[in-house]
A = this chain, B = another copy of it.
Amino acid sequence: MEAGAELFYAKGYNAVGVQEVCRAASAHKGSFYYFFDSKEALMTAIIEEGRGAPGIVLGSPPPGVRGRDLAIMAYDAAAAEVDAQYRLEGHIKGCPVGSVAAEIATQSEPIRGAACGVLDFMAETIAEVVRRAIAEGDVTGDADPGAIAERAVAYVQGALLLSKTRNDPKVFASLKPGYLLLLGIEGHPKPPRSQ
């Protein structure tokens, strides 16, 4: 599964064969099919296990950190990851789940469903952060945390896709203000150090 996650992330689902995954994992095809019903089942398992999503930056939000700072840290962490990928591999691979979903959401229900689950999880995590930020007075107005989180997920996915397509980490970095705008935390200079 580790080998599969890496390969699928790097090259996409259809561009990687079972053979290749097995070779990378030093296993044999027969063994593979002893544990998995199909290549599709492998991909599904990878996504569900969350291994396919090294991009999920927020595990569980640590307590004692202001919500708005968590949101900013999450974006910065993603930006750092994008940057590192570009420096080390020369390519930006985007979101592991998003990329796979874009490729085969219309072709495989199980994989689409699994990807859905990850997106739900991301949205829920962000919603939690937004709720915290609202309680802390950092987000004003009649904000619906769920809707805001969904927008943030969409925006980040799009930002990653743009950065991947242009193959330029600066694209993702430069899209940060839009993210803050969507969350409604743009201008606050409240904590002394964050941005």
Interface residue range, chain A = 35 or more
Residues in chain B near residue A167, CB distance under 8 A: 105, 112
* A164-B106 contact, Cβ under 8 Å, with A154-B158, A181-B181: yes
A residues 44-79 near B (Cβ < 8 Å) are none
Residues in chain B near residue A166, CB distance under 8 A: 116, 119
Q: Which residue of B lies closest to A184 (CB)?
A: B181
A residues 134-173 near B (Cβ < 8 Å) are 147, 150-151, 153-159, 161-162, 164-167, 171
Residues in chain B near residue A161, CB distance under 8 A: 98, 101-102, 154, 157-158, 161
Q: How far apart are the CA atoms of A92 and B115 in the complex, in Å?
A: 15
* A99-B93 contact, Cβ under 8 Å, with A157-B162, A166-B116: no
Q: Can you list 19 residue pairs at the A/B interface with Cβ under 8 Å?
A: A10-B106, A14-B14, A91-B105, A93-B106, A94-B105, A101-B164, A102-B103, A102-B161, A105-B164, A150-B162, A150-B174, A153-B162, A154-B162, A154-B175, A154-B178, A156-B158, A157-B157, A157-B158, A158-B158
List 10 extra interface pairs beyond A14-B14, A182-B182, CB under 8 A.
A10-B106, A91-B105, A91-B106, A101-B165, A112-B167, A116-B165, A119-B162, A151-B178, A155-B155, A181-B182
